Chains A and B, each alone.
Chain A
Amino acid sequence: AQTVTQSQPEMSVQEAETVTLSCTYDTSESNYYLFWYKQPPSRQMILVIRQEAYKQQNATENRFSVNFQKAAKSFSLKISDSQLGDTAMYFCAFTEEGGGADGLTFGKGTHLIIQP
């Protein structure tokens, strides 16, 4: 069974700083997908960024980027120029490659607080 571990229950940084959230996972699969989801106080789950395991290039979406280390099974999220609106729970998630039946396996989340 796959597991996803987020070792930082909470992080706090000042606005405009850069912050990195860590995530490790365990799987025996060679092809899979990794995601970071944001859950603001409204509780809506919003996809932040996605990484396909077969791609060596790290995904980037505006201020959000990942450091994907396949051999180490590590998938960290870097938020540059952090903004107050980035305050939220951030969940790392994993799914195997395959049919659309695959559910996501989530980590326990990191509560990120951006201080003004």
Chain B
Amino acid sequence: EPEVTQTPSHQVTQMGQEVILRCVPISNHLYFYWYRQILGQKVEFLVSFYNNEISEKSEIFDDQFSVERPDGSNFTLKIRSTKLEDSAMYFCASTLGQGALGEQYFGPGTRLTVT
């Protein structure tokens, strides 16, 4: 069964450094998402991406964040200058169809630790 994959599974970085989190969505899916889950808290929507551009973003997704689909398979989340409060699990998701009829398939997540 096709699945969303994410790399790395765990990333440790120092405050102020740039990190890139990578995701490979399911191959025929059209919409891509990033979510964040701070330890012990709920999952929060960051951004959605369709047709090579951002479709929607939350207030969390400020100028230090960016997303890109550099080729036909990868979908990346870049954090330019990490802060301690960026420590969280980051989940990538993708869906085939429009709206919520398309089930969002989640990847296993990347645990980001900022020291």
Contacts and interface: CB of A to CB of B under 8 A. Distances in A.
Contacts of B107: 44
Contacts of A96: 100
Contacts of A45: 43, 91, 93, 106, 109
A100 B58 contact: no
Contacts of B46: 103
B35 A101 contact: no
Interface residues of B, number: 33
Interface in B9-50: 30-31, 33, 35, 41-48, 50
A106 B44 contact: yes
A10 interface: no
Interface residues of A, number: 29
A61 interface: no
A46 B48 CA distance: 19
Contact of A108 (B42, B55, B100): B42
Given A45-B43, A45-B91, A103 B33 contact: yes
Contacts of B30: 100
Chain B interface, DSSP helix/strand/loop, else mixed: strand
Contacts of A95: 99-100
B100 A103 contact: no
A103 B58 contact: yes
B8 interface: no
Contact of A101 (B48, B89, B101, B105): B48
Contacts of A37: 106
Contacts of A99: 50, 55, 98-99
B36 to A, nearest CB: 11
Contacts of B45: 103-105
B43 A101 contact: no
Given A99-B50, A103-B35, A103-B48, 7 more contacts: A43-B108, A44-B107, A45-B43, A101-B31, A103-B33, A105-B45, A106-B44
14 contacts: A43-B89, A43-B108, A45-B106, A91-B43, A96-B100, A98-B99, A100-B30, A100-B48, A100-B50, A101-B31, A103-B56, A103-B58, A104-B104, A109-B42
